[in-house]
Amino acid sequence: MAQPRIAGLRRENVGLEHQEIRIRTQRQRVGEEAYEDDPNGRRRRQTLPLPRICVAPLRWQRLRQAAGEKDAGLRVVWLHDARHGTATLLTAAGVPPRVVMEILGHSQIAVTMNVYTHVVQDTQREASGHLDRLLRKRAALPIRSR
């Protein structure tokens, strides 16, 4: 059976003028039946900042819809994949884990860090560079006998 596409974010919950998304309901699916429900746990009535890069494409899409074009022409992206990607990119950018946890709506930071973030190769290289600098500094210090 094919996975459903994301359809639960309503237009009125996307505030382009204030660059925010207001989560008020979530789309649930049980078997073949889909319905809307209150968000679980920390997601309840959450407002999140919308990245500036998303505003222009969303405005463009609204214009297209107003002109009668219903097909957004977007590729399918599973919500779960988008959440993993968001967590990984934010973590790689140095955003504190607690902030990433809040954005994803997790109640425990372990879920965010152990399940939703993935180490990117650039981050590994950066960590290796830090280690290299620390070891070089240590090697440059005179050795003291005890």
For the chain, domain boundaries: 1-75, 77-146
C-beta pairs of 4-8 under 8 Å, 24+ apart in sequence: 4/29, 4/34, 5/76, 6/77, 6/79, 7/34, 8/36
Tokens 């746990």, residue located: 41
Q: What percent of the chain has pLDDT over 70?
A: 78
Tens of pLDDT, residue by residue over 31-77, are: 788 777 776 654 556 788 888 998 998 898 888 888 887 766 666 66
CA 44 from chain centre, in angstroms, equals 17
Average pLDDT over residues 131-141: 82
What is the predicted pLDDT for the residue at 134?
87
pTM attached to this predicted model: 0.59
What are 142's two structure tokens? Answer: 């005179």
Closest by CA position to 4, among listed 25, 34, 26:
34
How far is 55 from 124, CA to CA, in rounded Å?
32
Closest by CA position to 104, among listed 94, 93, 89, 119:
89
Confidence of residue 136 (pLDDT cuts 50, 70, 90): confident
What is the predicted pLDDT for the residue at 4?
40
Tokens 């988008």, residue located: 82
Q: How many CB atoms lie within 10 A of CB 123?
A: 16
How far is 79 from 64, CA to CA, in rounded Å?
24
What is the predicted pLDDT for the residue at 145?
64
